[in-house]
Amino acid sequence: MKNIVIAGAGGFGREIASHLESIVSDKIRIAGFIDDTLAIAPALNQSYPYPVLGKISDYLPRIDDVFIVAIGDPKEKLRIAHELELRGAEFFSFIHPTAVIARTAKLGRGIILCPFSMASADSSISDFVTINFCSSIGHDVFVGEGSTISSHVDITGYVKIGAGVFIGSNASVLPKVEVGAFSKIGAGAIVVRRVKEGATVYSSPAKTL
């Protein structure tokens, strides 16, 4: 029996708990949440039957624990994932039953593929990447470690996305564009040219903030 521990009990953590309920079985169960804001527990427990097991900052993995880092902010997500990894954590990749995954897609550890997401032919999804509801990763796309792709995003063929990138809802990235590490793409933006590392872009066509 694998015990799934969700790191992060905020909005996205609760969404992940709801999604996980569709795949629980005699081999896997939701153990609960860890979150550094323990005061969240009473309100959380009114709607979810899963306990807050402790703080992220000092939680020690137990036998059969596997972790999902349900944090939207890429830098924070990577920080937490790497801290847990140093404590010996193993990570669970959540792929919703409705996600469409090409046979030739390469998938990393601890990824989250939400309902109706897609990873197309020869795409590469690195560790701790989140692909939210109804977002598509086109053929031959590379998505770097810890990046967060929000809902209804279209990443087209041969795009390269660096580590720790955040892409807002309903954004599109046109073919062969490179998106630099730890950059941010605003909701609804259409990216037609290279985005520099650490830059923030918005609008259509996307321009630097």
Tell me which residue of 13, 150, 113, 127 sits closest to 81, measured CA to CA. Answer: 127
Q: Which helix (H) or strand (E) holds 85?
A: helix 74-86
Q: Which residue has tokens 């005699």?
A: 26
Strands 160-161 and 142-143: parallel
Separation of alpha carbons 55 and 147, rounded Å: 24
Catalytic residue, chosen from 82, 96, 139, 152, is 139
Determine whether the annotation assigns residue 157 to a binding site.
no
Report the C-alpha gap between 124 and 143 in whole angstroms: 6
96 has catalytic annotation: no
> Both tokens of residue 169?
């809802």
Please enumerate, by residue number, every residue annotated as part of a binding site.
72
Question: Mind telling me the catalytic residues?
Answer: 139
Please enumerate, by residue number, every residue annotated as part of a binding site for substrate.
72
